[in-house]
């Protein structure tokens, strides 16, 4: 596409990029701050008209870009091209090899914490590439789900567990951490759905009562929040098992905070046999003893 004839100049209002923000979110905020329609912004940045219908704040690829697009974004945003490339991996990837589309980034697309954004004078919604734990803002004790936030002030153990976990994994490869979180999420789902450990189920129910969601059933974002400390403990066990052998019967109870018993076929016990492999799929669940099927109080 031939770049539009309009002369490029820095726009009057140029928001700063947010950490791990998508390029679509940044262009949307840039357009909104200057009262420009998004289709006009795409014309100014020489992005193909074919991409206008599919363009959203979650967009983070270079489909439809022309060779001049990164330079035009930098000019409109009033930032050096090197700074723009450092803030947005999509821009850096396009400049390095425009012929090959970017590989999917780890994590998912989600809304950034509105309080963290407000601290940078950002009042509009910011879309970011979330790391495995970015559904929880430790600083503001908020659990993020879609456009809703759950105040975790009544559950300080959730944010405390996240801080300890961050210290534990800060030097580990991000892909290993993401994979351990994915495995741990599946294990916690099994524990919640089938109540493998009644003591733990009762603990989760007490937390739900504290935040006024005692009737929550899986799947539920608030149930995800109250089970988060155990999810982190399971992920930590899986990461440790990748590096060395562990004594499950002695180490697991101290990490998990309840009298853990590795029953035959129990999800965590199976996962620790091969911590690099996902044990469960949608159509393959562990057999479970009849006495552990019904959770207490349900």
Q: How confident is the model at residue 132 (pLDDT cuts 50, 70, 90)?
A: low
pLDDT at 294 over 50: no
Q: What is the pLDDT of residue 44?
A: 92
pLDDT at 286 over 50: no
> Based on the number of CB atoms within 10 Å of its own CB, is 56 exposed (0-12), middle (13-18) or buried (19 or more)?
middle
Q: What is the pLDDT of residue 279?
A: 46
160-168 average pLDDT score: 90
Phi, psi of 165 (to 5 degrees): -65, -40
If one compares 251 and 36, the residue with the highest pLDDT of the two is 36
Q: What is the pLDDT of residue 291?
A: 36
pTM of the model: 0.72
85-114 average pLDDT score: 82
77-88 average pLDDT score: 93
CA–CA–CA angle 233, 234, 240 (5° rounding) = 90
The residue behind tokens 């589309």 is: 101
* Of 232, 234, 224, 22, nearest in space to 143 by CA: 224
Distance from C-alpha of 88 to C-alpha of 67, rounded to nearest angstrom:
16
What DSSP line would sit under 157-219, residue for residue? HHHHHHHHHHHHHTTS-HHHHHHHHHHHHHHHHHHHHH-S-HHHHHHHHHHHHHTT-TT--SS
CB atoms inside a 10 Å sphere around CB 291:
8
Question: Tens digits of per-residue pLDDT, 182-204?
Answer: 889 888 888 888 878 888 888 88
Q: What is the pLDDT of residue 257?
A: 81
Question: Tens digits of per-residue pLDDT, 1-22?
Answer: 555 545 688 999 999 999 989 9
Q: Which of 14-28, 38-52, 182-196, 244-258 has the lowest mean pLDDT?
A: 244-258
pLDDT at 296 over 70: no
């Amino acid at each position: 596409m031939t770049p539009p004839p309009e002369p490029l100049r820095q726009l009057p209002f140029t928001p700063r990029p947010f950490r791990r923000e998508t390029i679509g979110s940044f262009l949307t905020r840039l357009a909104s701050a200057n009262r420009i329609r998004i289709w006009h912004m795409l014309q100014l940045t020489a992005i193909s008209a074919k991409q206008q219908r599919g363009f959203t704040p979650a967009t983070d690829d270079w489909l439809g870009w022309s060779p001049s697009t990164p330079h035009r974004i930098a000019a409109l945003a009033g930032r050096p091209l090197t700074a723009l490339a450092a803030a947005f991996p999509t821009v850096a990837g396009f400049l390095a090899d425009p012929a090959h589309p970017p590989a999917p980034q780890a994590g998912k697309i989600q809304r950034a914490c509105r309080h963290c954004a407000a601290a940078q004078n950002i009042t509009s919604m910011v879309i970011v590439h979330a790391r495995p734990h970015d559904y929880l803002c430790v600083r503001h004790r908020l659990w993020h789900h879609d456009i809703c936030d759950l105040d975790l002030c009544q559950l300080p153990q959730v944010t405390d567990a996240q801080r300890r976990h961050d210290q534990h994994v800060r030097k580990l490869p991000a892909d290993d951490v993401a994979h351990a979180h994915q495995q741990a999420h599946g294990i916690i789902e099994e524990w919640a759905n089938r109540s493998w450990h009644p003591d733990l189920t009762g603990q989760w129910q007490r937390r739900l009562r504290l935040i006024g969601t005692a009737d929550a059933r899986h799947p539920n974002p608030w149930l995800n929040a109250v089970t988060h400390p155990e999810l982190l403990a399971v992920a930590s066990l899986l990461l440790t098992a990748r590096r060395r052998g562990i004594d499950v019967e002695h180490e697991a109870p101290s990490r998990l905070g309840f009298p853990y018993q590795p029953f035959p076929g129990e999800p965590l016990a199976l996962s620790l046999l091969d911590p690099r492999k996902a044990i469960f799929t949608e159509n393959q669940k562990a057999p479970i003893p009849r006495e552990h099927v019904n959770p207490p109080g349900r």
